[in-house]
Amino acid sequence: MSKHRAAIDPSVRVRGAGRGMIATAALAAGAIAVGLVGTGATYALWNDTQVVPGAVDSGTASLTINDVASYPIAGLNFTGLLPGRSVATPTPLTVKNTGAVPLTVTPGSVNIGDPSGTLASQLVVAIHQTASCTLTPVGTTATSFTSFVVQPNQTTTVCVEVQLKPTAPANVQGNSATFSVLLNGVQVAS
């Protein structure tokens, strides 16, 4: 005896599964609606904005030397500048913080203009934070200060020293050079 199998119609199963999903979704939507009505509250979000007025003023950072931004050093007597010896400004120069913030002052670059090309490598230019200008002892290399802090509208004094290295060769005799020294002022981090 042969067995007959009934063919399964796939469209019947899909329709049956689709009806179940629709019924489940409708039931969930109805439960949410009942839950919202039952609480008696609204779920609106309220908001408001207000302007907070304010002003920002930036500070200033500024240094002067003897009350000018670029001071030409006067009074250096280079007749005494011999190998191993120094000359210095006769009186201290006044460094003033004319800005609104405290400044850490450090020595900057030294630029030497040397037309002969022989003198620049033999010179040492140093800046000292001091109340009176004195020379570095013979045989000791002149060095600049590391740093100092100047408060707004406060002053300190510095001296500039120029030294000819003790090993300077004879061919630098009678040559001349110009130089400039920078002082850098950086705001003290608070």
**Residue 37 exposed, middle or buried by CB count within 10 Å (0-12, 13-18, 19+):** exposed
Which residue type sits at 136?
Answer: T
Which residue type sits at 160?
Answer: V
**Given a cut of 80, is residue 90 above it in pLDDT?**
yes
3-state secondary structure of 77: coil
Query: Which structure tokens are listed for 121?
Result: 């490598």
Alpha carbon distance 165, 8 (integer Å): 109
Domain boundaries, the chain: 63-187
**Given a cut of 90, is residue 59 above it in pLDDT?**
no
Kindly report the pTM of this predicted structure.
0.68
How open is the CA angle 169-172-174, to the nearest 5 degrees? 140
Of residues 20 and 4, more confidence is placed in: 20
Into which CATH architecture does domain 63-187 fall? Sandwich (2.60)
